[in-house]
Amino acid sequence: MSDFEFLRAYVEARNVAYADLRLVRQAAEKISRGVPRAEMADEERRTADLLWHLGLAVASIERGLTYRPTPQLLRVADGDVSLLAVRLARWTPMRLLLRFLAEKGGETSLDEVEERLGGRMLEVTKRYLPALRLAGLRRPVKKPYNRHVIEAVLLRLGSEAGLLKGDRRSTALTELAEELLETESVEVVRTGPNSPVVLAAVAAAAASGNKVYLVSPWIDREVAEALAHLLEGKAVVVSRPPREKPHADALALLAERGEVLCYDKLHTKAVAGASAVVTSANLVKTSLLRNIETGVYYRETPTALRLHLEEVAASGRPCRSP
Asked whether the predicted pLDDT for residue 184 surpasses 80, the reply is: no
Asked whether the predicted pLDDT for residue 233 surpasses 80, the reply is: no
Rounded to the nearest 5 degrees, what angle is found at the Cα of 52, between the Cα atoms of 49 and 58?
A: 125
In this prediction, residues 137-161 reach a mean pLDDT of 93
Rounded to the nearest 5 degrees, what angle is found at the Cα of 174, between the Cα atoms of 168 and 180?
A: 125
Residue 205: partners with Cβ closer than 8 Å, 6 or more residues away: 4, 212, 271, 272, 273, 275, 276, 277, 297
Residue 149: closest CA among 4, 19, 322: 19
Asked whether the predicted pLDDT for residue 291 surpasses 90, the reply is: no
CATH topology of domain 186-318: Endonuclease; Chain A (3.30.870)
Report the mean per-residue pLDDT for the chain.
Answer: 90
- 165: which strand partners? 172
- What pLDDT is attached to residue 201? 94
The Cα 20–Cα 318 span in angstroms is 55
Q: CB of 70 within 8 A of CB of 55?
A: yes
The distance in angstroms from the start CA to the end CA of the chain is 43
pTM of the entire predicted model? 0.86
The Cα 173–Cα 65 span in angstroms is 36
Reported confidence tier of residue 62, pLDDT bands at 50, 70, 90:
low
Reported confidence tier of residue 321, pLDDT bands at 50, 70, 90:
low
Q: CB of 251 within 8 A of CB of 322?
A: no
Would you put residue 312 in left (φ > 0), alpha (ψ -120 to 50) or beta? alpha
Length of the chain: 322
- Domain positions in the chain: 3-180, 186-318
Q: Model confidence over 16-41: pLDDT tens digits?
A: 889 999 999 999 999 998 888 888 89
